[in-house]
Amino acid sequence: MSDPMLFTALNRRSFATMAFALSSAAVAGATLTPDRAMADTSQGDAWRGVPEMSVAVRSLGVPVKELRMNVSATGYLPDGSPVLYVQGGSPQNAVQFAALDPITGKQLRHHAIEELDDSLSMIRAGDGRVYIPGWGPEALLFRYDPSDDSMTNLGHAVAGESHICRIIEAADGTIHGGTFPNGHAFSFDPTTDTFTDYGQVDPGEYYARAVAYDEQGNLYIGTEGTARMIKLNLATGARTEIPQPPTMKATDFRISLMAWRGGLVMAYYGGSLEWHVYDPRTQQWVAHLPKSAPSMPTELDESGLLYFSDNVVNRLRTFNPATLEVGDAGWSRTVNYYLGGGGMGLLDLKHPNYPGQSVVGMGRRGELWRFNIETGHGHVMTNAEMPLTPVTVRAFGRGPDGKVYVGLSFNNGNLVTYHPPTDDLHVQSTGGIASQIHQYLTADGVIYMGTYTGAVLRRLNPALPLGTGNPGIVFNLNDLNQDRIFGLTKAGDRIAAGTLGKRGHASGRLLFHTPSTGVVVDHGEVLPGHQLVAMAVVDHLLFIGTSVNTPGADPIAPEAQIVAWDLRTDTIAWRHVPVQGLQTISALVPTSGGHLWALTNAGTIFRFDPKKRQVLQETHVAGSGGNHGYPKLTQGVDGLVYGSTGSGVIFALNPNSGGYRTLTTGNYVLPHSDGRLYFARGPEVFQATLTRIE
């Protein structure tokens, strides 16, 4: 889960701690909460042209709770018994932490860390305590003490930082880590419970994404956006950049994991997902491991080997830092990206079937597995008592079948629909949908979905059974440094798509797909420095709203633009800066007279006349917040335009007068053909019925 999208306090814990699982019964009996439009007494005449309305808000429940465990760590409880620690979460939900019996899978301890939205790292320190860093909304560090089953908030690692990316422990017990969004390195002294901030690793880097410590006073930091390795001498502050490995792939944009093993620095590069090994003594890259699961390797076993998941052959493999040899661990079990990706470590299980050391790990789909080094015997358990986490909602769409389609954040490939006539919120497992859906478009009886990662466009035919080829892939831009699809619209007989680059890659791409022929035409990065995040068609022009914000990099263009793309010639007709200093235009809706209404991540809406290339009206609706795809703006069946800001304010807009009313709170609002609104608050789906007050 590597998406540090910005959340506001508006939608945090009050919306995210639902205790019930999805069922039709959870929908039946839900209550309606009257909520008169909030703007009546505070907006002056801003509401002109928008009737006064009461808003009855009804919860449809939390569609999916599932295993969202990110990482594991092995250790021993105070009585000497072995334990597997697991933790993970979904954005806008508390991080779930548990201690499991690695033989039975029984849950021994459990804590919900309400202060953290997510966490991508965890270590068991030499003294038996466990450290958990916060991947937002604040760079907090937590410590679990198994001696008294306590969870302690140790405070902010670095003031002003929102994420701790990774942490490691030095031999003396000091904890080292890196942060986002200013790429600081820091340490934590457990003897005094104090932090030391070593400052920004490099002015050009947002992420100090991964760290390794060489026990000689040097901290190695891997960055994201440019995949650089920087050596920091903690005593002198001297910084030395290590040349990138010659075997590094052109598509590698980050170092997401690092380890110090046997006197060598190991660095895991994304997106090739390959380990490269650096020898500080010779200052050379000395080894290159095959494509591997996203998991730290084990410590060295008694024979000097470490273990990792080789995803070229899907086997548990060994690496010898002394000889640089890769070998097979001797387990016949398939160990793929998912089974090998949740972390692994060495344990003495103190069980007759597992003498000496065993490799114990967690799969990314909740498996608990163990492999004994001496006997070659292993076992995979699929019913371990892992904690469940509600999965955050990311998008809504209107299907040709009249259903509301609900897009989820990181999940195991669920298709969620709500059918208004039957009041049925339904979850199906597809296995063919990526872990996040950010955008829906219905055209010609099928549904197009913009998914993460790799900016993959998928096509779903709801009239056909789910299975092989449904949903199918239209295109995949992972190898072109693209991550997400937010711009998606029908453009004549084609589907137009605009993308967002990976972290550190400042330019999106423009593509067209012709469903009748299956042809995809990629026009490339038509506007360098701009992400293509909003789209609308008027006559022969495709209007594109851009963003100059790129995760993990400074803007290389000054402000957002509206681009007019001529669909007859497939060229840029013109481009224009509508509002000076504006960073992101997140949504565009065409209105009568050929005008466009735009919604920004600054919480403003404006009416734009393409013929005059002039802003006719601009209104501040709410505070700024969110990022790129958070704000939504959609025409309703009643002629009003409905929007939700990045900061989570839902409003109704009269497109003719420019008047608006705020209605309620939530994200990703969708006015449906049934006349009601659908939106999310964290992992929970809501329906709003609007009644005009005469």
Q: Kindly state the average pLDDT of the residues 471-490.
A: 95
Rounded CA-CA distance 262/321 in Å is 6
Which element (helix H / strand E) includes 98? strand 95-100
Q: What pLDDT, on a 0 to 100 scale, did the predictor assign at position 136? A: 87
Q: Are β-strands 69-76 and 446-452 bridged in parallel, bridged antiparallel, or unpaired?
A: unpaired
- Among the listed ranges 1-5, 26-30, 304-308, 386-390, which one has the minimum average pLDDT value? 26-30
Task: Please provide residue 534's backbone torsions phi and psi, each rounded to the nearest 5 degrees.
Answer: -140, 145
Residue 383 above 80 pLDDT?
A: yes
Name residue, tokens 């049934």: 674
pLDDT digits (tens, 9 = 90+) for 247-283: 999 989 999 999 999 999 999 999 899 999 999 999 9
The Cα-based distances of 159 to 116, 137, 498 in angstroms read 16, 13, 36
| CA–CA gap between residue 398 and residue 584 (Å, rounded) | 25
- pLDDT at position 29, please? 30
Question: Would you state the pLDDT for residue 593?
Answer: 84
> Looking at 10-19, 321-330, 653-662, which range is the least confident one?
10-19
Mean pLDDT to the nearest integer, 309-318: 98
* Residue 93 pLDDT grade (very low, low, confident, very high; cuts 50, 70, 90): confident
The Cα 43–Cα 242 span in angstroms is 57
Report how far residue 552's alpha carbon sits from residue 669's, in angstroms, rounded to the nearest whole number: 28
At 66 the pLDDT is: 85
pLDDT tens track for 2-61:
333 332 222 332 322 222 222 222 233 333 333 334 333 334 456 778 989 999 999 999
* pLDDT in the model for residue 624: 87
Split at pLDDT 50, 70, 90, the class of 295 is very high
550 vs 4: CA distance, rounded Å: 12
Q: Write the pLDDT tens digit of every residue in 163-182.
A: 999 999 999 999 999 999 99
| Beta bridge partner(s), residue 268 | 257, 275
User: Is a pLDDT exceeding 60 seen at residue 572?
Assistant: yes
Q: What is the pLDDT of residues 111-141, one digit of tens each?
A: 999 999 889 999 999 999 999 999 989 999 9
What does the pLDDT read at residue 678? 98
pLDDT at residue 33, as a whole number: 39
| pTM of structure | 0.81
Contacts 24+ apart (CB under 8 A), 215-221: 215/170, 215/171, 215/260, 218/280, 219/176, 219/185, 220/258, 220/260, 220/265, 220/267, 221/178, 221/183, 221/185
pLDDT at 394: 94
Rg (CA), the chain: 26
Any idea how long the chain is? 694
Q: Give the percent of the chain with pLDDT over 90.
A: 82
Residue located via tokens 């199906």? 428
Structure tokens at 311: 């995803």
**What does the DSSP assignment read for 533-574?**
EEEEEETTEEEEEEE--BTTB--SSSS--EEEEETTTTEEEE
398-426 pLDDT tens trace = 999 999 999 998 887 889 999 999 999 99
The single-letter DSSP state of residue 403 is: P
* Residue among 433, 519, 530, 531 at smallest CA distance from 483: 531
Cα–Cα distance, 163 to 116 (Å, whole number): 10
330-366 pLDDT tens trace: 999 999 999 999 999 999 999 999 999 999 999 988 8
Cα gap 661→659, rounded to integer Å: 7
pLDDT of residue 327: 98
Q: State how far the Cα of 385 lies from the Cα of 99, in Å rounded to an integer.
A: 10
Q: What is the mean pLDDT of residues 606-623?
A: 95
pLDDT bin (cut points 50, 70, 90) of residue 160 is very high
Q: Output the pLDDT for position 45.
A: 55
